[in-house]
Every structure is written in C-alpha cells, then in structure tokens.
Amino acid sequence: MSRIDELLTTTSRTFALSIPLLPEPTRAQLGIAYLLFRIADTFEDATAWSNERRIEALGEFEDLLENGTAERALELGTAWADGRPIEHEGYLDLLRETPAVIEAFQELEPEAREIIRRHTLRTARGMARFVDRTVAGQLRLNDLEDLRDYCYVVAGIVGELSTDLFVLGRGALTDIADSLRARAPRFGEALQLVNILKDAAFDAGEGRTYLPAEVDRDEVFALARADLEIAADYTNELQAAAAPRGIVAFCALPVRLAFAALEAVHTHGPGTKVTREQVFAIVDAMNRALDAGAPAVSVPEPVGS
C-alpha cells in the first residue's frame, strides 16, 4: 500500500489529502478504486490519441478488470505509458504501475472488489460513449442535461461507489443506506461541477468544452451550490448516524473545499484556486467542528447575499 499511497500523491492533491483520513479497510479500498478510476480518466482525457485508440484502451482496461492476469497488466501498462496518451508524468507513472494497482485490487476482499469492479466498469463504458462524440479533438456538451449526464459518468458513479464502501460491513449505517445512495450522485456531481467551473479556461485550451454554450453560467453555479448543499446533508447524516469520524471527515473536507472554491471562482473567475493557507484553515475548522460535535459541514451564505 505504500506504493498506492505514493501514486495517490502524484495523481490527486485532494484525494491524497482526504483518503488518509479514512479508517481501514475503507482507506485501502477507496485508494485503489480512485487509482482505477484515474486510469480510465487518463484515457478519456487522452487528446494525444485518436478516438479509436482511446476507446480501445478503455476496452482493454475493462477486460483487465474482468479477466486480467499479472502478465496482461504488465503488457498493457507498459504499452499505455509508452504511448504517452497525456503529458502528465504522474498519470504516466500510474499507467506504468498498472500491475501494482491491479495486484492490490485483486487482493481486496471479494465483496469490496466486486463493488469497485462494477462501478469502475460503468464509468469506463460511459467515458467511451463521450469519447466517441469527440470531433477533431473537441468534446462539446449540448445542454444542462448533457452536462449532468457527463458529470454522472465521471463523478456521480464515484459517489455511488464510495457510499457502497462506506456501508459495507457497518451495520450501524444500514438504516441510512438508502438515503445516502439517493444523494450520492449529487455529491459527485457537486464536486465535478465546481472543478468544471474552476478549470473552464484550461479545459478549453485542451479541447474540452464542458460548459454548454446555450446554458447561462449562473445556472451552472446555482446547480453546483444546490448539489453542495445535498452533499452537506449527506455528510451530516453520516455524522448523525455515528459513522466513523474518518469517513465523516473524508466527506466533509472536499465539500468545505468546494464551497470555498465555488465562491472564489464566482468572485474572481475561472482559474482561481483556494490557497494553501485557506486549505489549512478549512482543515482546522473541520477538525474543530468534529471535536466539538458540531455539524461536519455548515452551509455558507451565498456569495453576494
């Protein structure tokens, strides 16, 4: 797992910060799941490759999850990395380490492994559908429904996967499992919409236009905020049900960061980031709230209210 933790650090600042908060075995399960999703994401983002090659790689990845051997993982991981689908050394390193990720995945207990496999296959297949729509390296989403469909494929499913792992083996959460599952896609959508709004200028330069031209940006901000409020309810419901503190903190931290990022982008425009000092302050405020038994996430007033 030390190598898994290293790969998390080089591929996601936010997940590298939040996954260590989780109790075992959920920490290992979600760490491995995130890296599998990141491999699929790398092919979805692989604008250096043709649509056909990206879809082929997603299919190879699906086969690896369902029937993979160590030898096949090594063969594919090497070929994927050597093909340089994207110019991000952390992601290329992850592709090279595909055998280690698959080995860790196969060592998980059967029920957790099947949850991760099922959800990862769903997102890989959904990504292939969006790749197939890319024209001359450009993906353009048509309307708000299309945007939400995309967010579900790349993030809403992550919310569902996380929820299934949170409740796995935790009888105390059985009574709220259905309520959590109903909110989970909106949790994932919230975080993805904030990222899309924050990274709009960079994504456009990379050939990705996630914000539909016919949709007012304020409508997307409003949806992101509504989703974040649902994510806050999800997190506070976990807390009220006496979920392990690490699970509550894992959910609370990205929601608090996303509220701060949404305010920053709304005020200063795309590309604005939450500063390191703000991140430290948000982590400290979250820990103080948890120590005091206060709600893990308090919804801030809307910008300009």
pLDDT tens, residue by residue, 43-73: 999 989 999 999 999 999 999 999 989 999 9
pLDDT for residue 262 is more than 80 = yes
Residues 165 and 235 in one domain: yes
Residues 162 and 270 in one domain: yes
Residues 275 and 147 in one domain: yes
33 is a domain residue? yes
3-state helix, strand, coil in the chain (%, to 5): 75, 0, 25
131 is a domain residue? no
The mean of the pLDDT values for the chain is 94
126 is a domain residue? no
What are the CA-CA distances from residue 127 to residues 34, 50, 166, 212, 258 (Å)? 15, 14, 25, 18, 24
Let me know: does 32 contact 104? Beta carbons within 8 Å.
yes
* Confidence at residue 85, expressed as pLDDT on a 0 to 100 scale: 95
Residues in the chain: 305
Tokens describing residue 120:
């990862």
**Banded pLDDT at 1 (limits 50, 70, 90):** low
Let me know: does 183 contact 231? Beta carbons within 8 Å.
yes
pLDDT for residue 236 is more than 70 = yes
Residues 149 and 264 in one domain: yes
Residues 171 and 213 in one domain: yes
273 is a domain residue? yes
128 is a domain residue? no
Residues 153 and 286 in one domain: yes
pLDDT for residue 207 is more than 80 = no
pLDDT for residue 278 is more than 60 = yes
Q: What are phi and psi of 304, to 5 degrees?
A: 85, 5
* Confidence at residue 252, expressed as pLDDT on a 0 to 100 scale: 97
d(CA 124, CA 101): 16
Tokens describing residue 261:
């990022």
142 is a domain residue? yes
pLDDT per position as a tens digit, 131-147: 999 988 788 899 999 99
Residue 218 belongs to what domain range? Answer: 138-305
232 is a domain residue? yes
Residues 150 and 280 in one domain: yes
d(CA 183, CA 305): 26
pLDDT for residue 77 is more than 60 = yes
Which of 67, 93, 109 delimits the end of a domain? 109
Which of 67, 88, 109 delimits the end of a domain? 109
pLDDT per position as a tens digit, 148-193: 999 999 999 999 999 999 999 999 999 999 999 999 999 999 999 9
Residues 183 and 101 in one domain: no
pLDDT per position as a tens digit, 95-133: 999 999 999 999 999 999 999 999 999 999 999 999 999
Which of 109, 124, 146 delimits the end of a domain? 109
Residues 224 and 302 in one domain: yes
151 is a domain residue? yes
* Confidence at residue 35, expressed as pLDDT on a 0 to 100 scale: 96
* Confidence at residue 173, expressed as pLDDT on a 0 to 100 scale: 97
Radius of gyration, alpha carbons of the chain: 19
The domain total for the chain is 2
Residues 100 and 153 in one domain: no
The Cβ of residue 67 has, within 10 Å, a number of other Cβ atoms equal to: 8
**CATH number for the domain that contains residue 295:** 1.10.600.10
- What's the mean pLDDT in 236-249? 98
